[in-house]
Amino acid sequence: MRDVPGLIEEVQQVLRRVDPDGVLVACEIRDVHIGPSELARVADEVDRLLGRGGEPPSRLPTVLLVMDRTVIRRAGSAVKDELVAQLAQRFDLRTLVLDDGQAELHASDEVIDSATAAADGVDAIVSVGGGTISDIGKLSSVGVGGLPLVVVQTAASVDGFTDNVSVVLRHGVKRTVPSRWPDVVVADTTLIAEAPQAMNRAGFGEINSMFTAPADWRLANLLGFDESFHHGPIALLAEVGDQIEEWSRGLATGQRNSTERLVRALGMRGIATGVAGTTACLSGVEHLISHMLDISNAANGRPTGLHGAQVGVGSVVAAAAWELLFARMDAASTVPGPELTPPDPAAAEQLVRAQFGPLDPTGALAEECWPTTTTSSAPGRGIGWSYYGCFPDGNCTGKNCGHWCAHPRRSRSGCRPRGHRRDSATSTRQWNRLWPAGPCSTAA
Ligand SMILES: [Zn+2]
């Protein structure tokens, strides 16, 4: 059996190496438990967080279990019933089943408020479900002063289980807001492998942004839009990007080893976002595409697609956009850098508002989106810079790249049309001029 260190142990090891001065946000997750039988440990984890060692309590601690009405099964039995039974044996258990009347629950202000109200007066919160439920659990914990929080992850569809932000629906637009790290994440791979395949495939789609978004982040930094760039989060991603083309095949048939790798990769992504202090390291142009699809579908009465699936598709577009840029760089023998003229804000605003106009004639959507489009690295997202395009030959001179540079080269063949390959040695040289210290160097 592979000797795999715990995810948090691995994170701390990497961060000690790439961020010795502690510039990045500290990861405050105590444990991420990934394995085939982890569901059984949820009550133990709550006990541990409450500082109880199994001694008879003078008062039973109160625990709130937050969930939606989706029925989830694991090896034939209903997971939520199992969890209720497990927790009720040891705690004064309250359950909250959230339902906003929609086919799919959204983390709207009303839903978050009702979860926060239910959390008032309890000692700990356990959330069981997908990304939305996890986000609501985090926000309700924050709403009552940061109560201990155990997140039970039931699918590998998104990477939000292990970060310190939440996605909320505000004025019809999904927004990422600060929330908190969970204390403990429990990812039972037997359970997750039984999740609808479309969900775990969406998780795989989500993963693909790590081959383009970090480059968007870097470019935004070079153009002066984003001061937050740091190599540390990218070094974390390098730890889970290896051999993806081998293990991902098993996702189609729900193989547990593949599911475990997916859960681990998504877990690392969430942590990378959290320590970066910005979603920009993993949310580039491909996420803008996904958000735009959400808005467009909602405005036209169509069902919303799975976030990760849309991101996966958007990642292919992002990679292609970067390669187009490289082709133009090759043709012009120029390198993007400080001499580049950033987009004119007025022209950019006009462009954004023009895109939202047909979707919402009131202008409210554009009003909600435009301010965030002008901050952080968003303008840099408009281009997308594929690591693959940068290192088609794996010729990275960075000190700590591991397999990071080589991986996108291999994965590219799966997402780009055959016959569209080209010799990008020139691009590699240009990238090295752009980033003399090496893209994977730990020198910030
Ligand atoms: Zn995402």
Tell me the pLDDT tens digit for each residue of 74-124. 999 999 999 999 999 999 999 999 999 988 899 999 999 999 999 999 999
CA of 29 to the centre of ligand 1 (A): 20
Distance 312 CA to ligand 1 centre (A): 9
What domains does the chain contain, in order, with CATH numbers? 36-195 (3.40.50.1970), 207-434 (1.20.1090)
Paired tokens of 272: 């990378």
CA 416 – ligand 1 centroid, Å: 21
Q: What's residue 68's pLDDT?
A: 96
Question: Ligand 1 centre and the CA of 53: distance in Å?
Answer: 38
pLDDT score at 54: 60
Q: What is the pTM of this model?
A: 0.79
More confident residue, 398 or 297: 297
* Distance from the alpha carbon of residue 124 to the mean position of ligand 1, in angstroms: 28
pLDDT(304) > 50: yes
Q: 206 C-alpha to center of ligand 1: Å?
A: 6
Instruction: Tell how far the Cα of 170 is from the centroid of ligand 1, in angstroms.
Output: 17
Q: What is the mean pLDDT of residues 332-350?
A: 63
34-69 pLDDT, tens digit per residue, is: 999 999 999 999 999 999 766 666 789 999 999 999
pLDDT at 346: 80
Ligand 1 center–CA 92 separation, angstroms: 35
The secondary structure of the chain, three-state, reads: CCCCCCHHHHHHHHHHHHCCCCCCCCCCCCEEEEECCHHHHHHHHHHHHCCCCCCCCCCCCEEEEEEECCCCEECCEEHHHHHHHHHHCCCEEEEEEECCCCCCCCCEHHHHHHHHHHHCCCCEEEEEECHHHHHHHHHHHHHCCCCCEEEEECCCCCCHHHCCEEEEEECCEEEEEECCCCCEEEEEHHHHHCCCHHHHHHHHHHHHHHHCHHHHHHHHHHCCCCCCCCCHHHHHHHCCCCCHHHHHHHHHHCCHHHHHHHHHHHHHHHHHHHHHCCHHHCCCHHHHHHHHHHHHHHHCCCCCCCHHHHHHHHHHHHHHHHHHHHHHHHHHCCCCCCCCCCCCHHHHHHHHHHHHHHHCCCCHHHHHHHHHHCCCCHHHHCCCCCHHHHCCCCCCCCCCCCCCCHHHHHHHHHHCCCCCCCCCHHHHHHHHHHCCCCCCCCCC
Banded model confidence at residue 408, pLDDT cuts 50, 70, 90: very low
Cα 412 to averaged position of ligand 1 atoms, centre (Å): 20
Q: What is the Å distance from ligand 1's center to 283 Cα?
A: 6
Q: Is the pLDDT of residue 439 over 80?
A: no
Phi, psi (rounded to 5 degrees) for 64: -100, 125
311 CA to centre of ligand 1 in angstroms: 7
